[in-house]
Structure 1
Amino acid sequence: MDLRALTTFEAILRLGSFQKAAEELQFAPSTVTLQIQRLEADLGVSLFVRDGKRMVASEAGQWLYQEASALLKQIGSMRQTISDFGTGDGGAVRFAAIEPIASQTIATIVADFCKLRPQVQLSMEISGSKSIAERVRSGELDFGICASPSVNLMLEFEPLIEERLGVLMRADHPMANQACIEVNDLVGLTILLKEQTCIYREISEKILCQTGQNSFFGIEVGSFSVIRQMVKAGLGIGIIPMYKDLELENTLVIRPFVDIDPTVSIGLVYKNSNILGKASLLLMNALREVKKQNDFHSGDSWL
């Protein structure tokens, strides 16, 4: 069946006349008549019968009208959905980010994106860099925000921000009065460390190795939020990315290292931007604002 003819037929029944259908569809009356004749010929049945001076739907025409109405609504919905995919107002975005950049830097950007495009089905996960990169490679995620992935994964990496690690401690800790911390100041302390697969754990261990001693006690904790709470409770110190919001006035402070500069590059990770949906590309572009903001504040000592 010709979709235009079906649309014309539905308009005739809905509006009550051939003339009104022609006016709505901006067709000549003869075009409307021709389309119905072709539709009836295609179906092999009369869709209209004469009732005095009026043309009314036949039994077959009445049934077809119900089906055509539902079908045309579905087609209209399909057209709108496809259009939304094309503009980025629809579709799905699956991505993951590491902490603390997820909560400290990009959460607001993602929230603004969701408010602007409420029809987009967005899934944001929090995970480690290695897991994120592997899932981007497998196609489970559209993109990720994490540390630079292994070269053998053959992924694109766009740096967004350089995170500098410092020492988180209670405000009443003896080292809190120091403007900066030396690596050897950590000897003999209880240190809260991220899990083995975390990029921050790798950097922390490199820092500790520079003491040349093993006289510290490490506790593995899988969450920066939990590390923060444990430090607040008086259990040792933490080596964490330096974000001002991770401090607590009169309770927790973060101090930078003076003799080393432990940093990690965090950025966008994706496989092929050409195969990503418009919504994913728009969100990635919004997240690139992090780099612009970071470049603008590059002279600041804090993130």
Structure 2
Amino acid sequence: MDLRVLKTFEACARLEHFLKAAEELQYAPSTVTLQIQRLEADLGVSLFVRDGKRVIVTEAGRWLYHEASTLLRAVGAIRLTVSDIASGDKGSIRFAAIEPVASQQLATVVANFCKDRPKVKLTMEVSGSRSIAERVQAGELEFGICSAPPSKLMLEFEPLIEERLGVMLNINHSLADRDSITASDLEGLTLLVKEPTCIYRELWETAISPTGQSLFSYMEVGSFFAIQQMIKAEFGIGIVPIYSGLEQEDSLVIRPIADLNPVVTIGIAYKNQNFLGKAALLLMEAIRGIRE
């Protein structure tokens, strides 16, 4: 018993006619007859009783027709799903990105991708660069948007954008009307910074290491949104990547740090493109568009 024979049987039972089944399937009538005979021999039962040119399905044949129809529909669905996965119209993607790249650069790209491919199950996480790289290496994520991973993880890395750090200020702050700020301007001020494992915190500390950290007062805040709100309430200044989307016209501005100009490269980290599904590859291609 194979799927081709079951398909022939299903057509014969549905049409109650061998010749009509042969025409529908584009088989020679003798091929249909031979397949039904072999199926009956294999099962050891009669599936049809001839009535002139028509055939009548036996009780065993009616049961088999029900089961065969269900099976053929399932096989059809399997074929369609596999085809959709191969074309990228179906499947699953799990990836992660750092903030604020996730909200400022990727959110619209991901939304448009999901609208174009609604059958794809997509999960986008927000995490730190180090964690993202480790999870990509462990196979928990298809790919990640982060800073360059350590060489020991043996991941591929495609640079996308370069990000520069700036200073977020309340619009009423005395430094807010300047075009740029120097590190010395920040002495004695309370700096709101992310946690030590954050790439932007690491970038800041690397940039000011010759100057010395003792000149600044720090407060760790685990969320850029929280930093925004605290500065909006006129407490402290933030060390953040320069994104116009993080500014708020009536209350917040971001100014570059002229004498340090700390820069970090953000890109796509993955293990091997040959192991990625079509949907993941298409999303990666869409994300590459942010560097244009």
TM-score band, normalised by the shorter chain?
Answer: over 0.9
Q: Structure 1, residues 194-216: CA drift from partner, whole Å, max 9, x if none? A: 01111111112234434335142
Look up the match of 1:160: 160
Which stretch of the first structure deviates more once superposed, 11-20 or 98-107? 11-20
Which stretch of the first structure deviates more once superposed, 221-230 or 64-73? 221-230
Equivalent residues of 1:168, 1:240 under 8 A apart:
yes
Equivalent residues of 1:183, 1:207 under 8 A apart:
no
Alignment of 1:196-235 (within 5 A): 196-212=196-212, 214-235=214-235
Please, what is the CA RMSD of the aligned residues? 1.3
What is the alpha-carbon distance in structure 2 between the residues aligned to residue 284 and residue 55 of structure 1?
Answer: 56
Aligned residue type for 2:46 = S
Give the share of equivalent positions with the same residue, in percent.
Answer: 63
Look up the match of 1:241: 241
Alignment of 1:6-155 (within 5 A): 6-51=6-51, 54-155=54-155
What is the alpha-carbon distance in structure 1 between the residues aligned to residue 195 and residue 15 of structure 2?
Answer: 68
What is the alpha-carbon distance in structure 1 between the residues aligned to residue 44 and residue 236 of structure 2?
Answer: 85
What is the alpha-carbon distance in structure 1 between the residues aligned to residue 209 and residue 53 of structure 2?
Answer: 98
What is the alpha-carbon distance in structure 2 between the residues aligned to residue 228 and residue 206 of structure 1?
Answer: 23
Look up the match of 2:278: 278
Aligned residue type for 1:106 = L
Which stretches in structure 2 are left out of the alignment for 5+ residues? none
Q: Structure 1, residues 121-157: CA drift from partner, whole Å, max 9, x if none? A: 1111000000000000000000000000011000000
Q: Structure 1, residues 245-264: CA drift from partner, whole Å, max 9, x if none? A: 11111210000011121011
SS in 2 for 1:258: coil
Q: Report the Cα offset of residue 56 of structure 1.
A: 0.8
Tell me the TM-score normalized by structure 2. 0.97
What is the alpha-carbon distance in structure 2 between the residues aligned to residue 96 and residue 217 of structure 1?
Answer: 32
Which stretch of the first structure deviates more once superposed, 234-243 or 29-38? 29-38
Tell me the TM-score normalized by structure 1. 0.93
What is the alpha-carbon distance in structure 2 between the residues aligned to residue 259 and residue 186 of structure 1?
Answer: 12
